[in-house]
Amino acid sequence: MGVYFDAATAMPPHPVARQAFLAALDDSWADPGKLYTPARRARRLLDAARATVADVLGVRPDELHFTAGGTDAVRRAVSGVRKARDLRRVVHSAVEHSAVIKAAGADATAVPVSLTGRVDLDALQKALDSPEVALAAVQSANHEVGTLQPVEAAASLCAAAGVPLLVDAAQSIGHAPLPTGWSLLAGSARKWGGPAGVGVLAVRKGTRWEQPWEPPADVPAVVAAAASLRAVHAEAAAEAVRLSALVDEIRTTVAATVPDVEIVGDPVERLPHIVTFSCLYVDGEVLLHALDRAGFAVSSGSACTADTLQPSHVLAAMGVLTHGNVRVSLHSGVTADDVRRFLAVLPGLVADVRAEVGM
């Protein structure tokens, strides 16, 4: 299968996720909302999973909602606040995940970011100075370049303006300490090695938010998500040190061995497992296919997608190259040898792709 370097999109399933899912199938197939014995067993498992996830996120169990995925969590956060506050405008950083941007829709104000992808706090404060603002959204860390956002500072500005703050923490949960000060926090189990189709939305008590209906819980999947989160959380500190060292090696080696390359994102205030670089005179899609043939599954922060046919809005907002980009995101199964084999073949593949276009 080669080496998987796209953990920022989806982590490989954690071994305990499969074990927990299969074990839960026998005891959680019934509707946890009913009163008979099989339903009560399912309810106990669901409540235990809720308590586990709430403990990791640092919230109360009754503040935590399971959703149908990370995108669903974001949509529920935005729509619920809009309905409760009877306001429409959403202020968000220009580098938010497309799920946030699509949920905000036309009634939105995008706040600019620096060259490293960090939100401009002065611009955020100005955008909040309006009675029409329902919600602000600032991600915990960027999904394409790994830059950590100043969430606590943004939360202070939001509190002063009387505006709730939504934090998309999909890339941080299970990988890095979570920020504080937020009103709503969203995440996705597939980002920490849990099953796809399970998301989490934490809503702090006192936040004006309405949920018109509670989605039915896929109890075995929720149990698997909770088990995998508990496992990766226990390993997170040690893994962060190990993966950060490998990312540093990638950053240094790529800069030294690949001509006309730019490492994007903040070199210090970043997630431990993500690095993105831009290669001048390179078609990113062609390079990704070449890497795939060489046995490395990587992603591109700027690859055109079937639904938008547009380059990365994140890289465009940062003012860096929006083509020839490679995002490498590591996970617990990646070894130092995997990284060094990648670094050994990368310069030659970039040279080959450039030669094909006469560069």
- Token couple for 336: 């130092």
Alpha-carbon torsion angle 306, 309, 313, 315, nearest 10? 100
Question: 127 to each of 154, 194, 288, how far by Cα in Å?
Answer: 12, 36, 38
- Token couple for 236: 């997170």
Closest CA to 195 of 328, 19, 33, 326: 19
CA distance 298 to 301: 10
Q: How many CB atoms lie within 10 A of CB 55?
A: 16
CA distance 100 to 138: 9
Question: 342 to each of 9, 260, 275, 335, 339, how far by Cα in Å?
Answer: 19, 18, 13, 11, 5
- Token couple for 206: 């006192």
Pairing outcome for strands 274-279 and 261-264: antiparallel
CA distance 232 to 239: 9
Q: How many helices (H) and strands (E) does the chain have?
A: 10, 12
| Contact (CB, 8 A) for 336 and 253 | no
Pairing outcome for strands 133-137 and 165-168: parallel
Q: At what angle do helices 151-161 and 121-128 cross, to 10 degrees?
A: 20
CA distance 30 to 42: 6
Residues in Cβ contact with 132 at an 8 Å cutoff, skipping those fewer than 6 apart = 87, 88, 89
List the catalytic residue out of 121, 297, 304, 351: 304
Active site residue 304: yes
Closest CA to 200 of 104, 317, 297, 69: 69
Active site residues: 304
